[in-house]
Amino acid sequence: MSEEDKTENQATENNEAKNPVMALQKVYLKDASFEAPNAPQIFQEQGQPQIQMNLNQKVTTIAENTYDVVLTVTVTCTVNDKTAYLVEVQQAGIFSLVNFPEQILHQTLGAYAPNVLFPFARQCVADLVMHGGFQPLLLQPVNFDQLYAEQMQRAQENAGSETTQ
């Protein structure tokens, strides 16, 4: 092997060592709850169900370059101002992210990770609602990229208003 080949191989290895690498190590259900506080009377109610969904996310560093992301989906269904059911699912994943610049790391954990976890959470919510005796519920897709961008914009606006006070 010539000296030139060795130098070229080292350059290739160095480039590969610096490229961002992501791996989803595990997806797991951290917590799930279902409540039907007005059952069985709520099954007799006539009216259009009103569905409200709230999303929350928490990122915890569990080791160097390894993060636990927990997506919490809370769904409340009311009929005639009575709670039919309340579902809360905490879907989690362990992500390994190596060689990510800080801003890209933040965006990946804030937008990409919830995109990966949401289908699992949606399925769990659907199963819990159906097993609770209610009509199947299919949550619509969520644009986590847009939610992340809006969150970052609000954070910038809040930082800007704090400096002007």
What CATH number has the domain bearing residue 98? Answer: 3.10.420.10
Query: Does residue 116 belong to any structural domain of this protein?
Result: yes
Cα gap 128→67, rounded to integer Å: 27
Tell me the chain's radius of gyration from C-alpha atoms.
22
Query: Does residue 3 belong to any structural domain of this protein?
Result: no
| This prediction's pTM | 0.84
Query: DSSP alpha helices (H): ranges in 44-101?
Result: none
Is 60 exceeded by the pLDDT of residue 30? yes
Query: Does residue 97 belong to any structural domain of this protein?
Result: yes
Number of folded domains that form the chain: 1
Contact 33, 119 (CB under 8 A): no
Contact 109, 59 (CB under 8 A): yes
Task: Encode pLDDT of 108-128 as tens digits.
Answer: 999 999 999 999 999 999 999
Taking phi first (over 0 means left), then psi (-120 to 50 degrees means alpha), and beta for anything else, what does residue 50 get?
beta
Who contacts 112 (Cβ-Cβ below 8 Å, separation ≥6)?
144
Who contacts 107 (Cβ-Cβ below 8 Å, separation ≥6)?
148
Cα gap 157→141, rounded to integer Å: 27
Chain mean pLDDT for the chain: 90
Q: Indicate the pLDDT class of residue 158, thresholds 50, 70 and 90.
A: confident
Q: Domain containing 27: what range?
A: 21-141
DSSP label at 47? S
Is 60 exceeded by the pLDDT of residue 164? no
